Amino acid sequence: MALLLRLALAFLVAIDLLVFTAFAATPTDGEELVTFIFGDSLTEVGNNNYLQYSLAKSNYPWYGIDYEGGQATGRFTNGRTIGDIISEKLGIQSPPPYLSLSPNDDRLLKGVNYASGGAGILNDTGIYFIQRLTFDDQINAFGNTTLAIKSKIGEAAANKLLNKAVYFVGIGSNDYVNNYLQPFMVAGQQYSHDEFVELLIATLGNQLTTLHQLGARRVIFHGLGPLGCIPSQRVKSKQGTCLTQVNKWVQQFNSKVQNLVLSLNQHLEGAQFGFADTYQDVQELITSPQAYGFKVSNTSCCNVDTSIGGLCLPNSKVCKNRKDYVFWDAFHPSDAANAVLANKLFTSLFPNAPKNETPTPKTTTPSARNAPKNETPPPETTPSGTNATPPPERTPSARKTLRHS
């Protein structure tokens, strides 16, 4: 285990065309890797359960049906997030949600998850969810965490812990699906996409710089996947195909984030930031599901109504064989898909990790408040079809076509 943890803090990040320098410092035997997670519903583990008026919650069936204990925890999937699985492979506990911790909680020293469903880079993203922790909110919360850690172990030890920790940031999807692509949001009317993506990058640059000022040195930014192919976007096409223009916008965003990361590494002292390009991995799952053991990738396991949010409600019908589906609901991958993606990401980030040292899964995230147990098997629904080779993508001629087709 000590070998695995040493490797984890000395990894070479080599993803696609970007190669990042190895971390110089490695922990001594007995030290445990500390991780801090920022993001949206793809990595949330229950923060929104503690936001009384938030409409972005998943603390009810059928969420969590395949999670430990079969109970909803606030994760937006039927089981584990990618962050959970990476933590399992590192032999560490999946960091608990920030809002479940008090300032004197010793678990702050082992890592925290700040991710919040509906969050975005921009503060007005997901505003119609009423409450969520925007990326700025999450960074402010991390600032509070750093103060709490310093009060516990002293400034010198705290700075060492914060500098050695690994920070996973996965944010930006909602800035598209719950902002720019929504016809009732101002951004889509006010900005061309070139202008919008520049706004995102400028804002993100300031946010990552603030993280650095608070002590973050090893930051991995997860790029966006092909958002034009998720179920919530496919329904905008009359043929149910991917929206090519959305995917092109996502790739433009990813490219600019890569350049931002390189720039930050050059200008921020001690910064060892990396970009994890998972776009192609997700694309392969969608276009060739059978190659990974899936049968359906063009619709979700849970039969959702995208007109009312696309989430899997307690009265929704869910598929019998959940491992056959890439998507759990209209937005989020299934546990099985997360496992495939996490394995690929782990191999890229930690290429020298011995395969025979994968630890037993450990999680400490508290169950969602008042989350009902999934004691009754879910009703079944017949899959709408398989799609080993999906139809070709459709290119909308204009934004209005994108939204209303």
Q: Which residues are catalytic?
A: 41, 329, 332
**To which H or E segment does residue 148 belong?**
helix 135-153
Note whether 252 and 202 are within 8 A (CB): no
Q: Per residue, what are the HEC states of 299-367?
A: EECECCCHHHCCCCCCCCCECCCHHHEEECCCCCECHHHHHHHHHHHHHHHCCCCCHHHCCCCCECCCC
Note whether 209 and 268 are within 8 A (CB): yes
Residues 37 and 34: their CA atoms lie apart, in Å, by 10
Residue with structure tokens 């909680």? Answer: 105
Residues 38 and 57: their CA atoms lie apart, in Å, by 17
- DSSP strand E in 134-229: where? 166-170, 218-222
Length of the chain: 405
Residue with structure tokens 């503690």? Answer: 50
Tokens of 82: 């990618």
Tokens of 22: 């190895």
**To which H or E segment does residue 201 belong?**
helix 193-213
Residues 349 and 147: their CA atoms lie apart, in Å, by 29
